[in-house]
């Protein structure tokens, strides 16, 4: 074989400028279809295996349940509640602030709120425990405690786990040990990152959704209710305390003004007793001064008393900040997989995968065969 023959082999004339025609494509398709038909039982077997795997997966799969609360956020301002300019200047006239709008949504993301909700009670088969203990049991976090204790290496530093720490119902949060504090903080943080979602549906609207996802349906529903209750109670307590502080401040100012008013009244009366015949103009000026003080203190006292009455009325008519619109009901929304549907999906995927594998094998077989046929024999 000389150099010219080698060049003809590498670059034959019949292939120069040649284009693939429709007939060539049809031939290739028929060839591959014929090959796949010969291997049809391999594809069928792959599909059957996929159906079996999908059915088993659906059977052992533990669904995730989601409990969702939809609620409205009150966003009224205190300007229309009857407060005067005096109360507004004092900083007591507005109800919007820490617990309104987006700030309230952030309150649902607070770790302390999650921890407080986890310590709420739940009754399981007649026994009362907190939601934290129930979650630990539902998550099977203590299933392998005996094995872990048996395999613990005494030479390594001791690290407390859920096998060593319990959260008895009714225990005061302030009496938690360091290990209890660490574990409840860890559980709450993981829930906030992976399980809890809070979103405001529309910035222009006062609606928001709070949802919690869990593998245990009862925990999801009970915790969602506990979280709403915790935030609601925290809001009412904070609002009442704030209103009471404002009321006490106004009452203190009213008492102070009342004392000044009484002083002015007694001073004016004492002055009149000492000057029964106010013939001199200087005596008239002094009397006018006392009268002016009395009028100013009376006006201030009347105004602040009115504000106190308005504040008491607002406290008496205090409405909940959160209005529940949709509450979770059994059965909760979940991602449970149907055995038949999942089996068909897996079977289809396995069948398609088998077809691609067979096409790849056939391609490389054809390529290898062509190369062997084209190698010249000297």
Strands (E) across 74-126 are located at: 121-124
Tokens 């925990």: give the residue.
Answer: 219
Q: Around 138, how many Cα atoms within 13 Å sit in the side-chain half-sphere?
A: 20
Q: Read off the pLDDT of residues 200-220 as tens digits, 9 standing for 90 and up.
A: 877 666 788 999 999 999 999
Q: What is the pLDDT of residue 139?
A: 82
| Tokens read off for 122 | 């739940």
Q: What is the pLDDT of residue 353?
A: 94
H/E stretch holding 368 reads helix 339-374
pLDDT tens for the 378 residues of the chain, in order? 444 454 454 444 444 445 677 787 888 888 888 888 998 899 999 999 999 998 898 889 889 999 999 988 765 544 444 444 444 434 444 444 555 556 677 888 899 999 999 999 998 888 899 999 999 888 876 666 666 666 666 666 656 667 778 899 889 889 999 889 998 999 999 999 999 999 887 766 678 899 999 999 999 999 999 999 998 888 778 777 877 787 788 778 877 777 777 777 767 666 666 665 555 544 555 666 667 777 777 777 788 778 777 777 776 665 556 678 899 999 999 888 888 898 899 999 999 999 999 898 888 888 887 666 555 555
Cα–Cα dist 266/247, whole Å:
28
What letter does residue 338 receive in the DSSP assignment? Answer: P
Q: Read off the pLDDT of residues 289-306 as tens digits, 9 standing for 90 and up.
A: 667 777 777 777 788 778
Cα–Cα dist 260/96, whole Å:
34
Q: What is the pLDDT of residue 302?
A: 81
Q: What is the pLDDT of residue 331?
A: 92
Phi, psi of 370, rounded to the nearest 5 degrees: -65, -40
Q: What is the pLDDT of residue 340?
A: 87
Q: Helix (H) and strand (E) counts for the chain? A: 12, 7
H/E stretch holding 233 reads helix 217-274
Q: Would strands 333-334 and 127-130 be described as parallel, antiparallel, or unpaired? A: unpaired
Tokens 């709008």: give the residue.
Answer: 101
115, 119, 121, 122 alpha-carbon torsion, rounded to 10°: 60
Average pLDDT over the chain, rounded to an integer: 77
């Amino acid at each position: 074989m000389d150099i010219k023959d080698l060049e003809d082999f590498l670059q034959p004339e019949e292939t120069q400028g040649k284009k693939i025609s429709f007939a060539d494509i049809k031939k290739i398709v028929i060839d591959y279809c014929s090959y796949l038909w010969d291997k049809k039982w391999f594809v069928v077997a792959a599909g059957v295996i996929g159906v079996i795997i999908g059915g088993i997966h659906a059977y052992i799969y533990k669904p995730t349940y989601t409990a969702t609360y939809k609620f409205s956020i009150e966003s009224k301002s205190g300007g229309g509640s009857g407060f005067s300019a005096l109360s507004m200047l004092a900083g007591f006239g507005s109800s919007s602030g820490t617990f309104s709008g987006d700030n309230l949504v952030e309150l649902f993301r607070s770790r302390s709120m999650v921890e407080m909700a986890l310590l709420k009670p739940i009754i399981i088969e007649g026994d009362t425990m907190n939601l934290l203990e129930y979650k630990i049991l539902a998550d099977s976090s203590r299933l392998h405690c005996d094995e872990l204790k048996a395999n613990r290496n005494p030479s390594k530093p001791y690290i407390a786990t859920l096998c060593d720490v319990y959260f008895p119902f009714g225990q005061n949060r302030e009496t938690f040990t360091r290990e209890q504090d660490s574990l409840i903080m860890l559980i709450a943080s993981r829930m906030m990152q992976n399980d809890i979602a809070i979103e405001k549906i529309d910035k222009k609207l006062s609606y928001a959704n709070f949802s919690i996802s869990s593998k245990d349906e009862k925990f999801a529903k009970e915790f969602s209710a506990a979280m709403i209750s915790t935030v609601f109670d925290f809001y009412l307590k904070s609002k009442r305390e704030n209103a009471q502080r404002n009321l006490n401040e106004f009452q203190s100012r009213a008492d102070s003004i009342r004392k000044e008013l009484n002083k002015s009244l007694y001073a004016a009366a004492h002055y009149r007793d000492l000057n029964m015949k106010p013939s001199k103009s200087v005596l008239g000026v002094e009397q006018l001064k006392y009268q002016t003080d009395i009028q100013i203190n009376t006006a201030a006292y009347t105004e602040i008393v009115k504000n106190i009455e308005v504040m008491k009325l607002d406290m008496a008519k205090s409405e909940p900040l959160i209005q529940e619109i949709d509450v979770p009901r059994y059965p909760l929304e979940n991602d449970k997989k149907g055995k038949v549907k999942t089996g068909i999906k897996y079977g289809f995927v396995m069948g398609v995968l088998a077809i691609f594998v067979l096409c790849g094998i056939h391609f490389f077989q054809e390529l290898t065969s062509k190369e062997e046929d084209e190698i010249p024999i000297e």
